[in-house]
Structure 1
Amino acid sequence: MPELRNRSWILQKRPEGLVTLADIELREEPLRPLQAGEVLIRNHYLSIDPAIRDWMSERPSYLPSIPLGEVVRSTSLGEVIDSRHPAFKAGDLAVGVNGWEDYSIARGEQLMPVQPMPGEAEQYFLSIYGAVGLTAYFGFLEKGRPQPGETVLVSAAGGAVGSLVGQIARLKGCRAVGLAGSEEKCRWIVDELGFDAAINYRTSANLEEAIREACPEGVDVYFDNVGGEVLDATLMNLNKNARIVFCGAISGYNSQQPVPGPYNFWQILARTVTLEGFLVSDYFERFPEAIAQVRQWLAEGKITFREQVVDGLEHCLDTFNLLFEGANTGKLIVRLAPTAEAGVRGNSLSHATEASVSAAVLEETR
């Protein structure tokens, strides 16, 4: 095999606030030879997730901080080019926690083989069949324990995970209320996704009161992707024995100062609330079960989802910062070296809306 050169985004220093080009740098270097047990992958798609910002810091997290001088960590999906591991051969598709780069070298046991069904796009295994769909599925059903007739409140409801949680809540006979950051997102989750109500948290003068009006019988399950003031306002609207599913706290990821705890945390005791965090990786053995159920819901038209796909490794940073500006629509993915086949498959199913974004369009959304 001729020598391959790899472009990678390298973490130069710990970011303060939004990540900039002073923090990460796009480099090109030759790939090293494979060692026993390793697999070489040409990445097709990179997952753009809020958790990456936390991994760039030195705060304790469920994964170690990205070492300075190393590639920015992210989940990727790609084609096996070469393998020194018995479970993989050239031409296989695999998903793993790799990085923002053209090629990744990974241990075979750290990769998961994937095989899309006819008509399914590869990148679904980074979105609806990947961490997004599985997080919504296991987080809500296992930790939220919804019961028919209950009220479910979801923050970041216009995002990739939150939009699915609300739809699953409706499938389970619950009333779904979403918090989103624009009128467009509020209309989308109500008119197209079937949420019962939506709250624009950016324009609400009194968020606690806005939640009370949208949830007149109180909140039984709160699926939290945001933390901060939204969590604080929700705490004052919980019912007795409510459940809070703590999925993320994007409101504080770019904070340069210690983030104060919820001022209304006392309500956890006063209303005998269960607050529980979870990691989707804890359910690894049950991934096939979840994918099968989500695939069935999609086929039956019971759920829908959005992907915002941006072309080009060079656009990883701008795409990433869309998350913290509230400018993304659905699951954010960067596509490398797009092919005609990928484009057709990505738009072949009516339940998936793929926004393929050029550099010019990306700039307009900022």
Structure 2
Amino acid sequence: MSTVRSTQIQLVTRPSGWPTPENFRTVTVEYGDLQPGQVRVVNEFLSVDPYMRGRMNDVKSYIPPFALGETMTGGAIGRVVASTADELPVGAVVLHQYGWRDVVQEDAAGFRLVPEVPGVPLSLRLGILGMTGLTGYVGLTAIAEMKPGDTVFISGAAGAVGTAAGQIARLLGAKRVIGSAGSAEKVARLTERYGYDAAFNYKDGPVADQLAAAAPDGIDVFFDNVGGEHLEAALDALNPGGRVALCGAISAYNETGRPAGPSNMSNIITRGLTLKGFTLGGYFHLSGEFSERMTEWFSAGEIAYDETIVDGIEHTVDAFLDMMRGANTGKMLVRVGSSD
């Protein structure tokens, strides 16, 4: 029997506050011969995402927490190097959720075949052309029901979802798109590269004051990746009938105490606001619609993207921690490397 070694990363202790490298360990797992219906995949890119921090806590959520002492999971794209499944031949490119490892061997049902398009990096299937872009599209269309002429505010706008959502809002006919980010460089990138009409650094002063200056006529849609002070500011800025798509609350992910909530919740009643949280699990039926529209926009050169790529499976934890601290612009990825 031949064996193949896989480098994998596991969660060994649950973080209290900010995660540290000591919460993880790297192990070597050996795979034997393929069983019928299995494939072996060498990953090329892994995704690290804010939602993974929530899965490190042992709390009830929309998805089970990571189990201690077991290899973590997450979005990844790779190439089939051995197969006993006719539908996934050797050389096929596949998307899957077996991230945080360089080699994976599992049943073919856990992988989705994707076309390899000349000139389109495989990494984009984890970003603007994949779940990241779909998240922005779903939040704006199905959740916030954005209409042409709306003024849209997006928090965490320089991240993967934020850069996607801002461009999609503009392409869907937003009158004005406003974003927040955490540095002057990111703010400049939002307006110069991603087509935002205005942007501000939330570290420069109260979010409410900066948002009011950027949107003197108020906002109609808020796409929230941050929560906390951003949500409170938006509740003051939203016009009557405003809609909020609650995608994330990264400002509270590493809090050890109970995070403070907005003090102006009464605005939801008096202005007839709608706030709705979402995860993608209930909206995959929109994947085809999104893919058609995004392919058209991308092919027409109307979509910009950034990737922050960290090399080496051994640096996956570093990439995750850097992403949580906002060190990335656009999508944070780990480039695993080729197999021998």
TM category (shorter chain) comes to over 0.9
Inter-partner Cα distance in structure 2 for 1:106 and 1:231: 42
Contact 2:59 2:65 in 1 (8 A): yes
Q: Which residue of 2 aligns with 1:118?
A: 118
Amino acid aligned to 1:267:
N
CA contact (8 A) 2:3 2:33 kept: no
Contact 1:152 1:176 in 2 (8 A): yes
Find the residue that maps to 1:109 and give its secondary structure. helix
What SS does structure 1 have at the residue aligned with 2:208? helix
Whether the aligned pair in 1 keeps the contact of 2:2 and 2:33 (CA below 8 Å) is: no
Give the partner amino acid of 1:229. E
Name the counterpart of 1:203: 204
CA distance in 1 between counterparts of 2:301 and 2:42 reads 33
CA distance in 2, matches of 1:172, 1:100: 35
2 CA distance for matches of 1:61 and 1:105?
A: 28
- What TM-score does the superposition give when structure 1 sets the normalisation length? 0.88
Deviation at 1:284, TM superposition (A): 2.5
| Counterpart code for 1:94 | V
- Structure 1 distance, partners of 2:185, 2:103, is 37
Helix, strand or coil at the partner of 2:63: coil
The answer as to 2:94 corresponding to 1:94 is yes
Q: 2:215 aligns to what?
A: 215
Root-mean-square deviation (Å): 1.7
Q: Is the 8 A contact 2:152 2:177 kept in 1?
A: yes
Distance 1:35 1:282 in 2: 32
Question: What is the CA deviation profile of residues 62-93 of structure 1, one whole-angstrom value per residue up to 9, with x for unaligned ones?
Answer: 21111111112211111122334443222211
Offset, 1:33: 4.4
Match of 2:193 in 1: 192
Distance 1:37 1:266 in 2: 56
How far apart in 2 are the matches of 1:141 and 1:110? 29
1:47: how far off? 0.4
Deviation at 1:338, TM superposition (A): 5.1
Matched with 1:346 is: none
SS in 2 for 1:208: helix
| Alignment correspondent of 2:184 | 183
Helix, strand or coil at the partner of 2:337: coil
SS at match of 2:75: strand
- Code of the aligned partner of 1:317: V
1:23-38 to 2 correspondence within 5 Å?
23-38=23-38
Q: Confirm or deny: 8 A CA contact 1:311 1:338 kept in the other structure.
A: no
What is residue 138 of structure 2 aligned with on the other side?
Answer: 138
Q: State the AA in 1 paired with 2:91.
A: G
* Structure 1 alignment gaps of length 5 or more: 340-366
Q: Percent identity?
A: 38
Contact 1:19 1:317 in 2 (8 A): no
Paired residue type of 2:276: E
Q: For 2:261, what is the secondary structure of its paired residue?
A: coil
Q: Which amino acid in 1 is paired with 2:18?
A: L
The answer (yes or no) to whether the contact 2:2–2:32 under 8 Å persists in 1 is no
In 2, distance between residues paired with 1:267 and 1:218? 13
Change (3 A) 1:267 1:337: same
- Aligned letter for 1:257? G
Match of 2:178, as an amino acid?
Answer: V
Deviation at 1:50, TM superposition (A): 0.7
Deviation at 1:168, TM superposition (A): 1.6
Encode CA deviations 1:145-190: one digit per residue, 9 max, x unaligned.
Answer: 2222211000011111111211122222211000111111111111
Larger deviation: 230-239 or 98-107?
98-107
Cα distance change, pair 265–111 in 1 and its aligned pair in 2 (3 A): farther
Q: Which amino acid aligns with 1:218?
A: G
C-alpha distance 223-120 of structure 1, shift in aligned 2 (>3 A): same
Contact kept, 8 Å, 1:40 with 1:104, in 2: the verdict is yes
Name the counterpart of 2:9.
Answer: 9
Q: Distance in 2 between matches of 1:181 and 1:338?
A: 34
Which runs of 4 or more aligned residues in structure 1 lie more than 6 Å from their structure 2 counterparts after TM superposition?
A: none
SS state of the match for residue 288, structure 1? helix
Provide structure 2 residue ranges, at least 5 long, that are not aligned to the other structure.
none
Letter of the 2:193 counterpart: E
Structure 1 residue 32, shift from structure 2 partner = 4.4
The 5-angstrom pairing of residues 343-362 of structure 1 reads none
Task: Give the 5 Å matches for 1:147-162.
Answer: 147-162=147-162
Question: Take 1:267 and 1:35, find their aligned partners in 2: how far apart are those partners?
Answer: 59
3-state SS, counterpart of residue 2 of structure 1: coil
Cross-structure match for 2:170: 170
Q: Residue type of the partner of 1:162?
A: G
> 1:98, 1:106 within 8 Å by CA — same for their partners in 2?
no
In structure 2, the residue corresponding to 1:22 is in which secondary structure? helix
